[in-house]
Structure 1
Amino acid sequence: MTRTRRTPHRAGVRGPGGHGGGCIGSVFREGRFDDARAFSDRLLDRTEEVGLREQVRLDILRNQLAIIDGDRTTAVLNMERIAKQAQESSNVELSAEVWRALAEALTTAGGVGAA
């Protein structure tokens, strides 16, 4: 069995509540927008400590939050660009993740503030 070794700088990145980078999107899905913003802001100046995939997830999260905040046009264009770049680099899984996140954000934004 091959073991994957995590680099020390990436091992220290934790999401809200001590979660790892794989939970970046979960704070958004749970509707914890303030926690998601705080987490994103904490990592804004620490991009060298975050791997490429986690950077993309943070970009996704930031754009999801922008959609919730009403800046849909710019955020949608950003997410479309990210998804297309992932597709062009043959990262179909990441591209699909971006499209899902975009749909999720638009759906959530439609329900925010609705009675």
Structure 2
Amino acid sequence: MDIKREVQRRGEAHLDPRVKELAEEIKATEGRLVRALKAELEEERKELERKLDAGREALERKGDLLCNLKLEVLRDMDNQEAAEEVVPIRADLVEDLGREPAPAAQGLVGPTELLPTAAIWTS
């Protein structure tokens, strides 16, 4: 190791002072370039992270919207099924009663169409 240093020292001793200055200037420029590139890469990395975070947030919002939409569709399906079960259609009433349902009587509460006509007048 000492021999290498000695050879380097002797070689540098014979160099023109301008060559030494240029070598130092090259090293300084190289250092500035490396620092500038590192700073630029850091800015690029931060920008990419911001874009990635924004993309993740957008996906989360889309996922939330899709979940809400799915829940709404399921609720609508449940409501539709419940309505189909609770409210019989007129044809089913005619079939069950063997006649047309009675018109709704005033003052009565509830599904008066299901009551026979005599029951409406006696209630």
TM-score, with normalisation over the residues of structure 2? 0.20
More helix by share: 2
Structure with larger Rg: 2
TM-score, with normalisation over the residues of structure 1? 0.21
